[in-house]
Amino acid sequence: MRRALLLAMLLAIQSFPVHALSCLRPDPLATYRAAEQAREPFVILYGTLDFDADLMPPYTSDIPIDAPIPVPATFTGRGLTDAGFTHRLEASPITLRPECAGNWCGGTAPETPSLIFAEVSKQGWIVTLDACPFWLFSNPPRDVLDTIAQCFAGETCPAP
């Protein structure tokens, strides 16, 4: 469904190139629920990414970017457990998969504290960086991290 929505958005953007990309307000709790209901498993991480920023596509481009290349990275920080973000991780490999919607591409900056929802695949952890942020949230407030940890632990979780 997410891919169909992205395709529809891409077609709409290409039909009206003078309009700017309009994203819904990023919502980490909605992302948590999407990851929880996804067929593929996800890990939830809080920490920083180290990667070559020159490999990341620009946020905006004069021409549409069809298929940006995946960017190898390492993650340092903590993984989410029932006790909160307590599982310490050092330089764990992760792949950043930027995606573009017409002339706009998703991305992030190295060494920025981030809440990350990474898909667990046979190739390792993969985080999709959509043009409209959905799987990575830079500089999340402490209360967002606490709420995600609370939901993961099966405690009271705010209603959608």
Put simply, whether the predicted model's pTM sits higher than 0.75 gets the answer yes
% residues pLDDT > 90 (the chain): 71
Q: How does pLDDT run across 83-116, given as a tens digit for each residue?
A: 999 999 999 999 999 999 888 899 999 999 999 9
Distance of CA 34 to the CA centre of its chain: 12
Is residue 24 assigned to a domain? Answer: no
Contact 151, 115 (CB under 8 A): no
pLDDT above 50 (res 19): no
The residue range of the domain holding 55 is 42-160
Domain-embedded: residue 25: no
Domain membership of residue 160 (yes or no) is: yes
Q: Between residues 58 and 21, which one has the greater pLDDT?
A: 58
- The number of domains in the chain is 1
The answer as to whether 149 is a domain residue is yes
Residue 16 counted as domain residue: no
